[in-house]
Amino acid sequence: MQKGKQHSGNSSAAGAARAPHQAAHAEAITPALFCVDLAKQFQVRSSEIALLRLEKGLLKFLFPDHLKTAGAIPVSSSSAVAAHTAMTKKVELFNNFVKVRHANIFEAVKAGGSDDGPPEQPPIQKLMSAPVMDAEMKVVGVVQISRKGYDLNSAGPDFTLDDLQQLESAAKHLAKMRFLKETED
């Protein structure tokens, strides 16, 4: 696991708020509902959450909606963090993500899908990534939480090891969700 400087500023308030959100995860029936709840838990925008399902060697976006049709990530990709997470089955934390070699093609896809939309989104500055594994420890997906900004400070506080543990817990809840077990035919 890679990590950067740790901040403990929001730990107690965020920790107290997590229990109700985790209970809500169990009732979430769609990827969007689950991810919006996850965004609240980590105090990030929903556009800073990515949920991917593994299908036939490809990681396909379930959330956000605008990336569902943008393509898929081969699990064999050497430059995609999500693929690395799926292959190693390990959580990862990067508090200086702009210095990490990664595929950034999906960061360039506009949420509106047209040139009329909002200005270019800021890049991912901080990222946590966790595999979603079924009861047999087989990877069925990947969940990622990011903080975007034009620099490290504008992206918000660093992710902590406690945040990473909370993401691991959320990934365990995700593994039970029907939408990760279903595949499109």
Please give the full DSSP string across 112-124, using - where no structure is assigned. SSSTTSSSPPPPE
The pair of three-digit structure tokens given for residue 64, joined into one six-digit string:
């956000």
Residue 3 within any structural domain of the chain: no
Residue with tokens 């969007």: 32
The sign of the CA dihedral 13, 14, 18, 21 is: positive
Total domain count, the chain = 1
| pLDDT averaged over every residue in the chain | 80
Q: What SS3 class is residue 104?
A: coil
Kindly report the backbone phi and psi dihedral angles of residue 17, in degrees, each rounded to the nearest multiple of 5, phi listed first.
-85, -10
Please give the full DSSP string across 129-159, using - where no structure is assigned. EEEEE-TTS-EEEEEEEEEE-SSTTTT-SPP
Residue 50 within any structural domain of the chain: yes
Residue 19 within any structural domain of the chain: yes
Residue 5 within any structural domain of the chain: no
User: Residues 33-62: what's their mean pLDDT?
Assistant: 94
The CATH number of whichever domain residue 108 belongs to comes to 3.30.450.40
Residue 6 within any structural domain of the chain: no
Residue with tokens 């966790």: 130
Q: What SS3 class is residue 183?
A: coil
Nearby residues of 49 by Cβ (< 8 Å), 6 or more positions away: 35, 38, 39, 63, 64, 143, 144, 145, 146
- Residue 49: which H helix or E strand, with range? strand 49-55
Residue 1 within any structural domain of the chain: no
- Residues facing residue 139 across a β-bridge: 133
User: Residues 145-160: what's their mean pLDDT?
Assistant: 95
- The DSSP symbol for 110 reads -
pLDDT band, very low/low/confident/very high, at 56 (cuts 50, 70, 90): very high
Top pLDDT among 84 and 16 is at 84
User: Residues 153-177: what's their mean pLDDT?
Assistant: 95
Domain limits for position 109: 11-181
User: Residues 13-38: what's their mean pLDDT?
Assistant: 61
Residue 2 within any structural domain of the chain: no
d(CA 66, CA 68): 6
Q: Tell if the pTM clears 0.85, that is, is over it.
A: no
Residue 74 clears pLDDT 70, i.e. is over it: yes
The pair of three-digit structure tokens given for residue 165, joined into one six-digit string:
């543990």
